[in-house]
Amino acid sequence: MKSIKILAGIALIGLSFTSCKDEKQENAKKTIDSYVTYVDSVKNVTADELKANWKDVDAEYNRRAENAQLALADLKDNTVETEKINASKTKYEEFKNEMTTVFAPKVTPKQQLRNALFGEGKIGDDMSFAWVNAQNIHNVYQQFVHTVEDNKDSYSREDWDEIKLMYEALDSRKNTVEKEGLSSEDNRKIAGLKVKFAPMYTVNRMGAKSEENKDAKK
């Protein structure tokens, strides 16, 4: 009798263990399905709503993605679920890249020109040249003048006006930098670049204006 009770107890424990194991697997599948559903639902939200709440959206995605990945360990055969997770991960990364482009601030033609002349984001609306110093000012002039030289045939009159404004602002910064240890060698090289720029600006600015006058008459 005692043996029967022991066997019955073992059977009960085994049944309970199996039940817990099945529940664990079901919960794991639910976690993974929740992750997949979240990725699909995010793609249905308007761009304006996403932009306003993107940090929260991305944080929630990362939380669900981590939980889904951990849930795989609770599945005896996780081949199908692994494929689901990988597919959703790819889908989300592609969507995130797309949204990053959409959310990026629009760069005006004027800012594009400034980026080309000085480097990405170096000169903004504040027109601050504080980053230009005695060590890098020759390189700044060099990039400026060479960029203008390479693109002189494509600039409009408005572009040339912006170029002159930037050139004069750089010259103003040079006056400050000269007192901060600008070497005579760099000063000489800058003088050479200025000699190259002056006639290039005058001739091409006039040419751009002439072309615009022709177009206006047409």
pLDDT digits 0-9 by tens, 177-196: 999 899 999 999 999 999 99
In angstroms, the CA 145 to CA 191 distance is 12
Measure the CA–CA gap between 31 and 70, rounded to whole angstroms: 9
What type of residue sits at position 138? H
Residue type, 108: T
The number of helix segments (H) and strand segments (E) in the chain equals 7, 0
User: Cβ(137)–Cβ(185) under 8 Å?
Assistant: no
Tell me how far apart the terminal alpha carbons of the chain are, to the nearest angstrom.
112
Q: pLDDT, tens digit, for every residue of 66-122?
A: 999 999 998 888 999 999 999 999 999 999 998 888 887 788 999 999 999 999 989
In the chain, domain spans: 7-103, 109-217
The pTM assigned to this predicted structure is 0.56
